[in-house]
Each structure stands twice: as structure tokens, then as C-alpha cells.
Structure 1
Amino acid sequence: MAQFDTELLRERGLSPRIAEYFRNGPRFQPGAQPVTFTVNGNELGRKSATFDAVGKLCFTPALLRSLGLKSYEQFALEKPNLKVDAEVACPDYRDVSPRTLIVLRPNEGAVDLTVPAEDVVPVARSLRTETGGIGALFNYRGYAYESQWAGGYKSTSRYLDTELGFNAADWIVRSRQMYSEGDGVGRFRWQSAYAQRTFVDEKQVLQAGRITTINPLYSGLPITGAQWFPERGLRQMQSYPITGVASTRARVEIRQNGVLLYSTVVPPGPFTLTDYPLTNKGADLQVRVIEETGSEQIITVPASSLLLASDNTQNAGLTIAAGQLWDQTDVRTYDRVPVLTGAYGWALGPVSGTVGGLVSRSYTSAGVAANWKFAENASAFGQVLASRDGRRDANGAQGSAAVAWQASKDVSLGVSGNLRTVGYRTVQDAASIYQAPIVGIGARSQLGATASWSLGRFGSVSAGITRETYFDGEPGHIYSLAWGTSWQRVNFQLGVSRNTARTYLVDPRQPWAGWVLQQPNTYVYANLSIPLGSNATSTTYARRSNDVTRYGTGIDQRINDMLSYRVSAERADDGRGTEASGSITVVPRYTSLTLGVSDRQGGSSYYGEITGSVLATPMGVGFSPYAVADTFGGINTGNVVGLKVDTPQGPVWSGPGGFAAVPSLLAYQDSRLEASLKDASLDVDVDNPLQVVQAGRGAVLSVDFGAKRVRRVLLEVRDADGQLVPSGLAVLRGGDEFFSSTAQGGRVMVSRMVDGDMFYVELPSGKRCLVQDIETSPKKDGELFESGKAVCK
């Protein structure tokens, strides 16, 4: 028990009543309030807890459930002789679990609990996961781009990507469509439409509609049908990082086998893309960087590099897909060709693998793949696919292999390769009504090696080489060497690459098929980034490509969550003069808008992009600057509009009706939702500003933060004789709840003024007076709280 010097308290102008209140140690104010709980070292987030008049924590049945502790009913069943009374006003958990330790930290708003391990209720993941709910969504992303040149020539492009769907009873229904327009020629493409549901007990997913196969051996096949695959197949894997440098604001398109996978716009300077969809690691990626000036560069990412990009461990379990092929380019290439494919994955110690096959009209294929972690810092991957095209009597095989080795903590090495025979055919090759010859420009093999070396404070070096051979043609090579370092937040990159391979147009439907799209090219770049403070960064660069050297500099700054901008200038030695550009990105809470303009010798360009989503649940309708994922939810913020909430995807704000859209929750993992109180108004109270939830895939969660607007009043209190009450006196709410003390000038801050509340002041004589005749005046612009007067009688 703590002892206080009451005379010293009096000397400092504080009432001895305060000493009585805190004599038994640190204490919370009486009543219900949000508290951060830690149980056996595990932080559980903020829970609503109740404290009695002397500051003791009340272990109510609801609190035990939220903390995952054994209930009073369970104690009564296990120990019939134990007297358990959970109906008392303020139950104490130590009455049933005497070894429980409670540490109150009221100055931090936290409580640490240490309980016996047997008192923690083991809860299965499926039981801890919240499921169900209903909600609808609309995602949108669109941009418009226009370039003008002297003489009246104009080039325009438009792009709109939308997604419609809803979740109900853990079913996910989606439809995605894209519209693109270039120089007056428009094209609408229906990308996908499907319904899916996760069956938790089987740990499998059923998906049906216009889909692409999720199969360790035959992934990425577009079919109209259904598939059954392990839930882990939906885990988002980071794709191979595509890096490049844009001279101007540029449009970047990523294609594979002629199909557009992703399109975006990047600002001038270096860029890295990792969030594009990738299901097939057996074919090269073609990346087109289209500058505002109309110039283009093509980056080829070899399939051999994709093998080293992510974890190749096969998914344990059964995968089956059946349906008809469909052409993602919306051109009738296949004539109702049926496809049936299946695979089974297994794991045994350091070895995991998959076996499977595919059957179609006059076509069969079989394959096997394996991963082997043969050392703590080394692993190998291998895959072989064999095919038989009965209509053309063609047999063949294709193999892939990769070895990754962490030679030391600073050095990592990788080797990978692909090889195929002349007769190997994919099911799409065999099913297509357009038959291109394999010989000629077809790739026969790829062999690549990568290495990276960390130099400590001097940065890191990476190098790579890829050799590609063809059935008929000269072999090509891709070389790359890069060095990067940072010091005091100053970053510098230097790199060189050379591509001697030729990129061909192989679409047999085009009359110019076989033409070379890209000649050998050497690319050199240097980039220096310097922080300027206040979230501003200066970037200076030089690069040379296609015998043209460009120099440029720019400044970008993120002013706050809602506003950022960039300005830059570039000069090239090809006679085009200097180009200046600028852009601004505004996030007015519920959408994201970017506008850009550039001016150059002989022309100018304009750009605009808008992204966001609309989400509707029974709680309300909300808007977000981010796309809604397959698992989402909503937050009720009461009558508070504009409350900022941090979510796994980024900050969102409550809109009209006090509803905040949560566009993405982590499936089967903890998601933190936290109200940003430092950005909230002074008159806003949030009962549960931090909540940790776990949602099943396809669930729509509803969360209540208990936010409300409150009146905060600074009272000037006088006694019955009209004199200001002395400072340091205890102020009680309702007669026994200590919540404040009087300050100089008889001032008392009432943090939550509620009609009907009764306030008492403990007088030096030991008596108390009742605060009456309260008169307040509304706060003016710029004031943080109301002011008022009262008499204590």
C-alpha cells in the first residue's frame, strides 16, 4: 500500500482526498473505458473494461470472452466445491484463479495480465475467425492521356477498369471488365466473372465462371468452367519485381503471350512494379514503357528469371479444373475446346512436389514438379511437362529448373533455365484455329544466372546474365549489372544492361507476324535521391538508351495524407530541347485523383487518373480511395463524420452517417483497425479505438468503435459567497467518481458534460458542495472547448 505525505499535498495545493484515492497503487478512474490488454505477453488490443469506485478491474463475463480466458461456468464445472459468483457487481478473476497477476498502468491506459496457461482457452482458428455478412462493391480505376504536337497532330488514350460484385454468406461474386481506347479506336474486354467460396473444413476453394486455372503445373489457362483447389492457392505471392526508368510520365503495359496483364502510369524516374497478376512462370514478360513523347522502350523479363522470383513450393492438396477454353483477347481463337486438368501436391520433410495432367480434344499432357531444400540456405526446383498433339502427331517436352543458394549472409546466387523440344505444344497451341510453326522464331532454351553481394555501408551489387537460343536464329543475351547505396537517407543507383536478343511479334493472325519489335540495345542509368525534409525528396538522373542521353531532375513531396505533388525537368541530346512537367495527387478522403501536365519543344501532354471504390453493407454506404478486396467490412463511428481510421490497406475516413468503409481485411489473419485520435477533434471520444479482428475469406465484418461527440466544458466555479473555490480540491462525478481537481481561478475541466450529471467538490473543511447553476456559452471558431460558470453550494 502506498503512503502519501498529506501535508506536502496541502503545501502543493492538492486535496488529501486524492491521496486516499491512490493509496492502494495506480488506479483507473471508475467506470467503463477502453484499455489495452496484454495477456501472458501477447497484446490483444483495446477492450472495453469497467473499474469500480476504488479503481479495481471488474472481470465481467464479457471481458473474459474477449480476452480468451476460461469462464466462471467452466471453473464451476471443473471444481464443484469452488464457490463461483459471477453475478456480483465487480467480479475478481483471482477468486477463481489465485495465481493471476494484474498490473495496472493507468498512465498508459493498459493492463498486463499473467494467468496460468490452463486458464487460456485454446480456440481453433475456424472458431476464432468471424464469418458471414453481406455487402456489395464497385471498384474503379481510369485514366485519360493526351499528347499534342506542332502541326495539329494529337494522340489520345483512355482506360477504364471496373469491378462489380458482392459477398453473401461467405460467397464471393465478382465481374471485372476493361475498356481501352487509343486514337479513337475503342475496345471493351470482359476479363472475368465468377463465384467462389472457401470450405473451411476441407481447406479447399470452389470457384466457377469465367476464370483462369490455379494449378501448380497448368496455371493461367482461361476457361469457362469450375475448379476446386486448396485455400492456400489464394495466398497473394509477390510477383517478380519489374524495374525501369521512365524519362517522362509514361504508361507501362505488361503482357505475356500477347495478353495484357497490367497497365499503369508511372511518374518520371525509376519505378518498380510487383503487384501485377502473374500465374504462369513459363513464358517471358514483355514490358512496354510508352513515353509522353511517343517514344517506347521494351523490357523483356525472361521466364528463367521468373522461376527465382518467389517461393515455388507446391500446394499440398488436390486441384481439379474443368471447362472450355476462352480467348482473353476476345477474339474467337478456340472453338469450344473442352479441358480437364488436375494435380495433387504433397510434402515430406524438406521435399515437396506435384504430379498432374491435362486432357483436351486430341491433346494430352502430363507433368511433375518438385522442390528440395537440400541445405539450410539452399534449395532446388525442377519441373517437366510432356505433351502429345494427336491432330498433328507432335510429341514434345518442356523442362524448367532453378537453384537458389545463400552462399553467405552477404552473397546470394541463383541459376535457372528452361528447355523445350521442337514438338512441345501447350493446350492453347493445339486448340488454336491459327497454327503458327514452332520452328523459325520459336525459343528453344533459356539459361540464366543471378548474383547479389551486400557491401555493407557501401551498398549492394547485383548482376545477371541470360542466354536464349532459338530453333532457327542467332542466340541472344541479356546482361545486367547494378550498384546501389544509401547514406543518411541519400540514395544512389548506377546500372547498365544490354539486350542482344530480338523480340518478335509471333501472333499468326497479324500479317506482319515475325517482324522484329526490338533491336539489340544498351541501357545505362544513374540516379541520385536526396531528402529535403518535410517529406520532400529531390531526384536527379542521367540515362542513355537507343543512342539518346537524357538528363533530368525533379522534386516530389507528400504534404499530408490527402495531398502530394511532383515537378520535374528533363533535357535530351536529340534536339528536342527541355521538357517540364508537374503533377498533383489529391485524396479527398473518399477517392484518389491525379492530374498532370508537361510542356516540351513542339508539343504538350495532359494526364488524369481517378481510382477508388464504393462499398455498401447493412451498416451503410462508404467510399474509399482503395479497391475493395475479397474480404472487407465497415466501421460504425456513431455520429462522427471524418474520423480517420488506419486499416491494413491504408487510412480511411468515416462519411455521412458515421460509416467508414474498410476495403480490405486479411483472410484468416489478424487485422488491426485503429482510430487516429491525434487527428480527431477534441470533442470526439472513441470507446474502442483499436480493435483486432480475424475474418474468414469472403466475410463482411461490422465493427463498432463506439465513437461519439462529447461536450468539453471549462467551468469557473465559485462558492456560495461568490469566492472562487481554492485550487487542488478533488472533484467527484456522481458523488464517488474522482475525475478531476480544481485549478487556479476556480477552474474545473469537465471532459464529458452530460445533462443530469451531478458534480461535487471536496472542500478543505472535509465537507462537500454541489456544483449548481451551470451556465455555458458555445465555443467560438478556433476554441477547443466551451466555457461556463457555476456555483458550488
Structure 2
Amino acid sequence: MRTTLFTRQSGRSASAMTGFMLAALMSPPGSATDYFDPAALELRGQVSAIDLSALEQPGGQIPGRYRTEIYLNSRYMAERILNFTLGERGLIPEITKEDLLSWGVRSQATPAFSAMSKGSLRQPIDRVLPDGQLSYDFAQRRLDISIPQAFMQQSVQGAVSPEEWDDGLPAAFVNYAYSGASSRSDARQGTVQNNYLNLRSGVNLGAWRLRNYSSWSDNGRSRQWNSINTYLQHDVKSLNAQFVAGDSYSPAGVFDSVAFRGVQLYSDDNMLPESRRGFAPVIRGIAQSNARVTIRQDGNIIYQAYVPPGPFAITDLYPVSSGGDLSVSIREADGTVRQFVQAFSAVPLMLREGQAKYALTAGKYRVVAADNAARYEPLFLQTTGSYGLTNASTLYGGIILSGDYMSSSLGSAKGLGYLGSVSIDGTWAHAQSGEIEKQGASFRFQYAKDFTASGTTFNLAGYRYSTSGYMDFNEANGYYNTPPLNASNDELIGSKQAQRVWTEWRNRHNKRSRAELNINQRLGDFGSLYLSAYQQQYWGISGRENTFNLGYSISHNAVSYTLNYMRSSSPWLSQQNNVFSLAVQIPFERFMPKSWLNVSASQTNSSGLMASAGIAGVALADNTLSYNIQQGYASRGTGGSGSATLDYKGSSGEYLAGYNVTRQTRQLNYGVMGGILVHPWGLTLSQPLGDTMALVRADKAANVKVENSTGVYTDSRGYAVVPYLSPYQRNIIKLDSGTLADDIDLTADTRRVVPGQGALVLADFPTAAGQKIMLTLNSEKTIPYGASATVTSGSQTSSGIVDDRHQVYLSGVPSRGTVKVVWQHDGCQADYVLPGDKPVIQLISLQCR
């Protein structure tokens, strides 16, 4: 049923009719279809009304080209400018069969779709894909395409097509971190100055990444410049791998990581979908009908899918932790539910079934040292690999070959269900230096388990035993690079040279055994407990290195308490170190907004009792300023002390300043961190940069906040840098439209980017710079409701629809220009000049000729 609005015959105000129309449009939908007769707006003697059939549908709009975000089954697919044409049911976006295929529709989904020719879809989608729907939200500029799963290819959770990976813009950048301190002491005359500068610089060209890491230091007596590493990197998309040439590190896992100068090819987990990273078991079962499979961990649904009758295997699961019981339920079509539990835990080397990881490294062993002394840096080749054999079994191994050293390793990781998971491996090594020859073996055991019921997590329990002749590659080269000691161990223990002795003895005496344990215990409302312990023994020396750390934390009535005990000992230290500490954090917002009171105390056997109390908090918009004021006391040495620090995080960098005072010393410290980025549109200052980032471009939109990035605003030209992004994944960048100036509009406030590793990607936000005006158009011609009014300035176009009062709202218009009004086969235009004052919206009356 249609409701027809009859033609107006009286002189009553059109605003009453407009109000009625708005009320009708905002009314809840009923069983009838509302219909508006455009002829109802014809005045006496007027030409027939403009065709408004496109506006009859809810959310309707006139045909044209619109920037559009495209979603398929609620998943973001792409953003582009789409042309919308008028079809029998309203506007139809010009998407192609090729688009639908690239978004995952099966080529043989239906006979009609299979027979569909290439080119734009010019008919309702449900004619080729039954129950398919298109819905366009013009306010959000979002096209939602709904297609039944039966017509879709099976896809992996979190998968991002390599076609979406963006190599980014050509760019050069410097990431800097400077810190300095000026100190005075009663014990000596003058001021002691210390300065340190850390530089991480890079150049991007296509998919190539050139990186350098350097540092500079000045302690008042000497200055030193050190280039720590330089390398060139390029991703290898076909292999899901990274290629590196230059200074880098071999991957840890099978062998300990070593520094090298050479080339490396290694698999990159970041290039895999999130659901394929790390380890998760394959969930297998049998469905008797079209069933829903739901998987829960700790009571939370982490996976849900619909499967056809027959055996199924779920391979794209990503749990919320590295262990714990998984509850699997299968709900059949008749409502029958079957459940089972699959336990799993993962040690670091476990992989999913059928997944492989590898690394190939060739080059020269590199000694990372600040001096320029000659070093023994042999050539070597290292290969490592691992493969998920079954749902709960991984095989791994590797080889190192060098002129004076060779080593091979083989091991296996195994899931034991409710008992957790273990890995066991053995490594054999042979080292030779002149007439000195050593060979031996090392065996490693690791265990992991998450006891969900008790809240206990063994993150890693490990043990390694090595025979007296075994040396890993770092130990062997450290042995060659360590000069003979000129004093006995007993003479040097406790002296100022103890640290040097420690390092040299560690290099001279290879490891015998090593044990590690990490446990976390959740206690519900009673907080949490953690324990970590480490012990290492060396061949040729008595005693052990020991570190033990026990902590407890709880929060009650918004007050946080942390209690910690730490003990450490070593054969090279004259005494055992014991530290007890207690920290309490109390909200202070009743007296000062966004602030808290910190109280802490610690007791050590070497320094005695130390205590402090102070206030910390954040201030300014976006919490960009943080502060900390502390008063301290020490039972030995310094006695009373005080400190104050400020840290401001702005768009162009981070700035720090602090002042510390004790009974004997006074120190002023300061620092600045940030980035300098050169890109195709100029130079932009930023906060400290990560490796993968985005350049925001919103032309002429100054001081606009970038959401979810503290202190990041566009500069005077409309540029900003989002310093951290996740590579090979979809990242959302959003501008806060509420911070726009009155004379700037955005065509869209959200962008989605998929950067490659190390890329600088563009997040472009087209703007309409200009004023907002409400035009009243007077003309000898009768301008019908629905006529289109347009102002064009360069590449920027502002358009709107004329209402029944001959008024039109336009935004982003220049201070002078021409308004062109068109309808059917007629039109008019009017020149305008805006007055100097700039209210939010200017009201202007023009004669349209």
C-alpha cells in the first residue's frame, strides 16, 4: 500500500509540509510502503518536478560517484570511489564480477553467477546470488554486501590478501633519543656533564628498507661515536619470508642467537593470518548434520563456525593463551548438543600441524663492541627449521658450519594433552683453536602447562645439561676473543674489576647446567602470585649463579599493593644480594584530578632501608603531560632526597625534564625523543617512530586529533605520523572530526591500511577546505525541489540539493566563486563573494540567472 501526498492548493507555509515529511520519514516502519509524489511540490505554472524516484527508498540518494567503504558479510574489503546508477529498486553500485570473485565469492556459486559476463553488476544481486543483499549507508559512506556463506570460499580467520599489502611511500627518517644530565657534588668542584644520543635512521624505496642504528656519548672526559648495525631488508611475499643483508642477528630457538654480518632469509610469522600464528591444536570432530561448532576457553567463546555433515577439522584457531583446556560443543540441526574437552599447552618451538618455519644465515660472526680492537670473527653458515608433523608433535633442528666450529641439533616438541607439553633436544658441537680441541653435547628439556581449574600457569620450566667439552657458537668465539687473565679469581673477587672478571670468566668457563622456572598463580579476588627462578653452573669453577624472584600483587577498593622479594648470588660476587620491597598506589583524584599517591619501601643487605612517597598523575587534554614528585629517605649514605619529573608527549616529539637532590648531590636531567620524516609532500616531525608507520594527510586540516594515539595531532599543513602499526594486518586510523576547524570538512574520517614490514603507508583524508554557507536562490526561472547545486574550485567540488524554499546548504566552498544549479534540461548560475567575517554558517541570498 502506498500513501500519496496530494498537491498543495493553499498558501500555507511549506515548512509545515516539510515538518510532516520529516516526521513521516522518522516514523518506525510499518507494513505499508511510504510513497512521496514529487508532483505535490509543483507550484502553479511550474515545469514538472525533477525526478526524485531515487529518494523514495529509505536512505535513498541521487545517482553519482561516492567514496565508499565496502564490507562483505561484515568484513572490510576495500575503499574506492563507486559510481551509483538508478535501477528498478533504487541505486545500484557498479561493482564487477571480478570484484566479487576477489572478495571470496565462489566462481561456481550459482549457474546465474557462473554465466554472468565480466563487467559491472547491473541487476539486483539476489538474481545471481539468491538471498544476497546490498545496503548503502550514505551518512557513513558504507556499502554492506550480504552473501550466504554457501556461496563463499572457505577463508581463514584474520586472513589478509597479499594483494592488500602496501609497500608504502618512498621516505627517509631519523628516530632520535637524546638524554643529558648536569650534576654537582659537594665532594668535588665543578659540574659533571653527561650526554647520550641514540639514532635509528632509515630509507624506504618500494619494498626495500635500509636501516642504521648508531649512538653518540659524551661523559665530559671522552666522546664516542658508534655505528652499531646497518642492514637492508626486503620481504619475499611468495615465501612469507624476509630477506636481510648487513648486520643482524640469527633467530633464537634451536640455537642461541648470534650477531652476524652477511645475509639471511627467514620465515616471518607476521605475514600469516592471526589465526595461523603460534601454536594451537587442530580440532577434529564429526558432524551428523549442518552443525554449529563452538569452542570456548576459560568460559569465553574464541571460535564459532558452521560445518556440513561429515568429518571436520578446524585449523585456524587462535586461543587467548598458550595453554588451557578447550571446550568444544557441536550443535546439530535438530538441537542435539555434543561436547568434549581438548587440553593443550605449547612450548615455544611447537607449531601447528603442517606449518613450517625456517631460517638460513650466511656471513661473518660479529662482535658487538664499542672499541675498534681486532676480533676473531669467522665466516659461518647456519640453517634451522621446524615442522608441525601432527596435531601435537613438532620436529626441529639445525646446523652451524664454520672453519673452526661445527654443530648440529635435533629435537621434538610434543603435546601431552592434560599433562601439558614438552620439548627435548640434543646438540653436538666441535670447536678447535690451534692445538686446542673441544667437543661435547648439550641436552635441553622444556615444559609448559596451563592448569585452568587452579589458575596456575607454567610459562616455561626448562633444564639444560652440557658436557665439559661442549661450547655453543657464542661461547667458542667469546673464548677466542677473551685475553688471558692476569690475576687469580680470589684476588679479584669483590674488587672494582669484579664485573670484568665476571665477563671474562664466563667466556673462559663454558656452561655446565642451566635451570629455569616461571610460574604465575591467579588467586581470583585475592590477587596473583608469581615466581621465577634461574640457576646456572660452569665447568671449571665452583659455585652457581642464582636468581630468585617472588612477587604478590592485589588490588582492593582501587588501592594496589605489590610485594616482592629478590635474591641473587654468583661465584664472582663477594656476598649474596637480598631485596625486599613493598609498593602501594592510592587514587588521589578526590584532591587532584587524574592523580595517585605512591608509597614504596625496600630493604637490601647492601644499601639498608630506602623509602619514598610522592604524587604522580597526568594533565592537559589527551593526558599528554605526566608528572611525578617524590620525597625519599635512605638509612645509609644519601639520607633524605627529593625529585620532580615532567614528561610531555606532543605531536612533534616527547620532552622530559627532571631534578634530583640529595644531601651531597644535585642533578638536572633532560631529554627529547622524536622522529623526523621526509616524504613526498615535505617534512613532518613526530613522536618516536616504530618500524612500521602511517602518514596522515588531511590537506589544510590543522590541529586535528588522531584517535587512539596519545598526543598525535596534524601539523599546520594537515600532516601527522601514526608511529606504530601492525605489519600485514588491517589497521584502522581515525580522525576526531570534532577537532576540525569550522572551515574544513572531511569526506571520511576513517581509513584502513595494511602496511608491509617497515613501510610508511599513506592514510589520505580528502578535505573540503572552505566556508559553510546556506544559499537562498532567487530566479526568474522556477527552481524545483531536488535541483542540484554545485560549486567547483580546482579539484574540489561541493554540492547539495535545493529544498522547497529554494535553499541549499554547501560546505567547503571558496570565498568567491560560481554556483551552478541544474535540473532536468535547464539550469541557472550565480556568482558570489563571501563577506570578510566568518561565522560558522553564512546566510547568503543570490540571484540565479
TM-score band (shorter)? 0.7 to 0.9
Cα pair distance change 1:579/1:52, threshold 3 Å = farther
Please name the residue that 2:236 is paired with.
199
The residue number in structure 2 matching 1:416 is 462
- Matched residue, 1:666: 726
Deviations 1:367-410 (A, max 9, x none): 23432222268222334333222332323333332212111242
For 1:752 and 1:731, the matched residues in 2 are separated by 21
Q: Which residue of 2 aligns with 1:527?
A: 584
Tell me: CA distance 1:742–1:620, structure 2 relative to 1, closer, same or farther (3 Å).
farther
Which residue of structure 2 aligns with residue 777 of structure 1?
A: 835
Q: Is the 8 A contact 1:230 1:318 kept in 2?
A: yes
Change (3 A) 1:370 1:80: closer
Q: Is 1:705 matched with 2:737?
A: no
The residue aligned with 2:628 is 567
Provide the rounded CA distance (Å) in 1 between the counterparts of 2:789 and 2:118. Answer: 31
5 Å-filtered alignment, 1:753-772, equals 753=813, 755-758=817-820
Quick one: structure 1 residues 9 and 470, their matched pair in 2 at CA, closer, same or farther if it must change by over 3 Å?
Answer: farther
- Whether the 8 Å contact between 2:360 and 2:382 is mirrored in structure 1 is yes
Aligned to 1:407: 451
Q: Corresponding residue for 2:165?
A: 129
| 1:172-197 CA distance string (max 9 Å, x none) | 22121112333533332221111122
**What amino acid is aligned across from residue 140 of structure 1 in structure 2?**
Y
Report if aligned partners of 1:480, 1:495 keep a CA contact under 8 Å in 2.
no
SS of corresponding position for 2:166: coil
User: Which residue of the partner structure matches residue 344 of structure 1?
Assistant: 385
Q: Is the 8 A contact 1:455 1:461 kept in 2?
A: yes
For 2:91 and 2:227, how far apart are their aligned partners in 1? 58
Q: What's 2:257 paired with?
A: 220
How many percent of aligned residue pairs carry the same amino acid?
14
SS of aligned partner of 2:163: helix
1:549 aligns with 2:607: no
Choose which of 77, 85, 93 in structure 2 pairs with 1:59. Answer: 93
**Which one has a bigger Cα radius of gyration?**
2
Measured after TM superposition, the shift of residue 59 of structure 1 is 1.2
> Which amino acid counterpart does residue 469 of structure 2 have in structure 1?
G
More displaced 10-residue stretch of structure 1: 699-708 or 166-175? 699-708
Rounded Cα–Cα distance in structure 2 between residues aligned with 1:93 and 1:136: 46
Equivalent position to 1:426, from 472, 477, 481: 472
Contact map agreement 1:670 1:692 (CA 8 A) in 2 = yes
The two structures have a TM-score, normalised by structure 1, of 0.74
Cα deviation for residue 731 of structure 1 reads 7.3
Letter matched to residue 479 of structure 1: F
- Contiguous gaps of at least 5 residues in structure 1: 239-307, 505-515, 722-728, 762-767
One-letter amino acid matched to 1:590: S
Change (3 A) 1:579 1:739: farther
Distance in 2 between residues matched to 1:433 and 1:599, nearest whole Å: 42
Residue among 367, 392, 395 paired with 1:327: 367
Q: Please state whether the residue corresponding to 2:652 is helix, strand or coil.
A: coil
Map 1:85-96 to 2 at 5 A. 86=120, 93=125
Distance 1:777 1:66 in 2: 50
Which residue, 123, 138, 145 being the options, matches 1:113?
145
Task: After superposition, give the CA deviation of every residue in 1:693-743 in whole Å (9 maximum; x if it has no partner).
Answer: 32333555444322231321256x59899xxxxxxx9775439x8758689
Query: CA, structure 1 residues 402+742, in 2 after alignment: closer, same or farther (shift >3 Å)?
Result: farther
Separation in structure 2 between the aligned mates of residue 234 and residue 35 of structure 1, nearest angstrom: 27
What residue in structure 2 maps to residue 14 of structure 1?
A: 18
CA contact (8 A) 2:733 2:763 kept: no
SS in structure 2 of the partner of residue 615 of structure 1: strand
Q: Quick one: structure 1 residues 382 and 161, their matched pair in 2 at CA, closer, same or farther if it must change by over 3 Å? A: farther
SS in 1 for 2:239: coil
8 A Cα contact 2:73 2:146, kept in partner: yes
Query: Which 5+ residue runs of structure 2 have no aligned equivalent?
Result: 26-35, 37-51, 278-344, 485-503, 791-798
1:411-451 deviation line (CA, Å, top 9, x unaligned) = 22353233333333233433324255679987643334333
Q: Which residue of 2 aligns with 1:734?
A: 789
- The match for 2:398 is 356
Question: Could you tell me how far apart the structure 2 residues matched to 1:67 and 1:579 are?
Answer: 69
Q: CA 1:758/1:319 → structure 2, altered by over 3 Å: closer, same or farther?
A: closer
Of 55, 59, 78, the residue aligned with 1:26 is 59
Note the C-alpha offset of 1:550.
0.6
Compute the displacement of 1:343 (Å): 2.0
Amino acid at match of 1:778: G
Q: 1:41 to 1:183 in 2, by over 3 A?
A: same
1:683 paired with 2:737, answer no
Instruction: Name whichever of 122-131 and 549-558 sits farther off.
Output: 122-131
On the 8 A contact 2:347/2:446 being kept in 1, the answer is: no
- C-alpha change, 1:738 and 1:177, in structure 2 (3 Å) is closer
User: 1:279 corresponds to which residue?
Assistant: none
CA displacement at 1:608 relative to structure 2:
1.7
Task: Give the counterpart of 2:654 among 589, 592, 596.
Answer: 592
Structure 1: distance between partners of 2:108 and 2:819: 39
Q: Distance in 2 between matches of 1:393 and 1:80?
A: 71
Partner amino acid, structure 2, of 1:461: L
Seen in structure 2, the aligned counterparts of structure 1 residues 786 and 159 have a Cα distance that, compared at 3 Å, is farther
Corresponding position of 2:531: 463
Q: Whole-Å Cα distance in 2 between the matches of residues 573 and 127 of structure 1? A: 61
Q: Offset at 1:49?
A: 4.7
Provide closer, same or farther for how the CA distance between residues 313 and 598 of structure 1 changes in structure 2, counting only shifts above 3 A.
Answer: same
TM-superposed CA distance for 1:114, in Å, is 0.9
**Deviation string, structure 1 residues 126-181 (Cα, Å, up to 9, x no partner):** 33333475322222112112332235464443221112322223122212111233
Deviation at 1:673, TM superposition (A): 2.5
Q: Counterpart of 1:496? A: 564
Task: Give the aligned residue type for 1:501.
Answer: S
Could you say which residue in structure 1 is the equivalent of 2:442?
A: 398
- How far has the Cα of 1:225 moved from its partner? 1.8
Aligned-partner residue type, residue 515 of structure 2: L
Question: What are the equivalent positions in structure 2 for 1:145-544 lying under 5 Å apart?
Answer: 145-151=181-187, 152=189, 154-214=191-251, 216-232=253-269, 311-313=348-350, 316-331=356-371, 332=373, 334-349=375-390, 350-375=392-417, 378-391=420-433, 392-409=436-453, 410-413=455-458, 414-431=460-477, 432-434=480-482, 444-469=512-537, 471=539, 472-475=541-544, 477-487=546-556, 490-502=558-570, 504=572, 516=573, 519-530=576-587, 532=589, 536-544=594-602
Q: Deviations over 1:588-635 (max 9, x none)?
A: 422222222233434322222222222233344333213241x44534
What is the rounded CA distance, in whole Å, between the counterparts of 2:271 and 2:575 in structure 1? 36
Corresponding letter in the other structure for 1:328: V
Cα 1:479–1:5, aligned 2, differ >3 Å: closer, same or farther? farther
Shift of 1:67: 10
8 Å Cα contact 1:643/1:676 also seen in 2 = yes
Instruction: For residue 230 of structure 2, give the secondary structure of its aligned residue in structure 1.
Output: strand
The two structures have a TM-score, normalised by structure 2, of: 0.70
Equivalent residue letter for 1:200: K
> 1:711–1:785: 8 Å Cα contact kept in structure 2?
yes
CA contact (8 A) 2:800 2:809 kept: no
1:34–1:48 CA contact under 8 A, matched in 2: yes
**Is the CA contact (8 Å cut-off) linking 2:519 and 2:531 kept in structure 1?**
yes
Segment drifting more, 101-110 vs 439-448: 439-448
Q: Secondary structure at the match of 2:476?
A: helix
Instruction: Quickly say closer, same or farther: Cα 1:656–1:517, change in 2 above 3 A.
Output: farther
CA change 1:535–1:451 in 2 (3 A) is farther
Structure 1 residues 99 and 543, CA gap change in structure 2 (3 angstroms) = same
Given the superposition, is the C-alpha separation of residues 464 and 333 from structure 1 closer, same or farther in structure 2, using an over 3 Å criterion?
same
User: How far apart in 2 are the matches of 1:81 and 1:469?
Assistant: 73
> Structure 1 stretch 602-611 or stretch 8-17: which is displaced more?
8-17
Deviations 1:510-562 (A, max 9, x none): xxxxxx38742222222224262897231322221322231212222042347
Q: 1:720 to 1:64 in 2, by over 3 A?
A: same
Contact 2:513 2:536 in 1 (8 A): yes
